[in-house]
């Protein structure tokens, strides 16, 4: 069984954002792999869009027949909802403080008409997270100053076009899904997340910020490990609403 991680918007180096999960998941006999999306980066002229991100993720998922749990963080939910469709190896989708779009729904549709105060729209067709507020909004639960500094260093512009595009299919309609509500997330309120989570088969709430894989890696690894028995079985199973402490 492997876990494939798809990162959110306005950051680079997906493997780094996931690096604190490798050891805890290995303790549960789970291999991990992180996707590198193309719609965010320092070279603004070379940025991809949502469709490029879907293709990059699809390539990783098709690279192995091993049963797979896909973890979609934030914007990653837009990507995974199409990228994971129709693949027998994908046994479970985990949406973390994310969106679960229908075909035709864009990230802008979920976010609203105006950017959040901690986001900045550039004149070059990009959107970015303001580094001066990123730690307070997205990483307040992480007590490692080095980790926080490294996270802020990886903030980059994101193609605004990706926010206006939508997936063509919704994998979560056919693949069992779990939505993880991060109740201390200051960027996406718990109420907003619970509304998004209504489409999932199962909802689990954890008391973390926007990045539980950085602030509470052991807790998040235990959560994923709980999904493994059901994920080994192809039929849809997910149930209920739970809370982890």
When computed from its CA atoms, the radius of gyration of the chain, rounded to whole angstroms, is 16
Domains of the chain, each with CATH number or no CATH: 2-243 (3.40.50.1820)
Q: What is the value of pTM for the model shown?
A: 0.93
Give dist(CA 33, CA 18) in Å, integer: 9
pLDDT digits (tens, 9 = 90+) for 162-216: 999 999 999 999 999 999 999 999 999 999 999 999 999 999 999 999 999 999 9
Distance CA 200, CA 196 (A): 8
pLDDT band at 242 (very low <50, low <70, confident <90, very high): low
If one counts every other C-beta atom within 10 angstroms of the C-beta of residue 118, the result is: 17
86 and 61 in contact (C-beta within 8 Å)?
no
What is the C-alpha separation between 166 and 50, in angstroms, rounded?
8
Per residue in 107-126, pLDDT (tens digit) is: 988 887 677 889 999 999 99
Beta bridge partners of 119: 129
pLDDT tens track for 16-58: 999 999 999 999 999 999 999 999 999 999 999 999 999 999 9
């Amino acid at each position: 069984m492997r876990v494939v991680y798809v990162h959110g918007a306005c950051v680079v180096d997906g493997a780094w954002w996931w690096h604190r999960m490798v050891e805890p998941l290995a303790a549960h006999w789970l291999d991990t792999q992180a996707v590198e999306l193309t719609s965010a980066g320092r070279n603004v002229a070379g940025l991809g869009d949502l469709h490029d991100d879907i293709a990059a993720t699809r390539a990783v998922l098709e690279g192995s027949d091993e049963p797979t749990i896909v973890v979609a963080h934030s914007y990653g939910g837009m990507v995974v909802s199409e990228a994971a469709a129709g693949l027998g190896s994908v046994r479970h989708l985990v949406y973390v403080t994310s969106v679960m779009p229908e075909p035709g729904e864009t990230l802008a549709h979920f976010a609203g008409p105006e950017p959040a105060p901690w986001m900045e729209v550039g004149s070059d067709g990009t959107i970015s997270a303001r580094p001066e507020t990123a730690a307070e909004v997205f990483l307040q639960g992480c007590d490692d100053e080095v980790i926080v500094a490294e996270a802020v260093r990886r903030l980059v512009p994101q193609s605004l076009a990706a926010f206006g595009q939508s997936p063509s299919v919704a994998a979560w309609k056919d693949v069992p899904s779990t939505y993880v509500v991060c109740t201390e997330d200051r960027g996406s309120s718990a109420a907003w997340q619970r509304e998004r989570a209504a489409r999932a088969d199962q909802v689990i709430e954890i008391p973390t910020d926007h990045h539980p894989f950085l602030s509470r890696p052991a807790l998040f690894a235990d959560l994923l490990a709980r999904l493994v028995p059901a994920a080994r079985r192809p039929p849809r199973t997910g149930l209920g609403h739970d809370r982890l402490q």
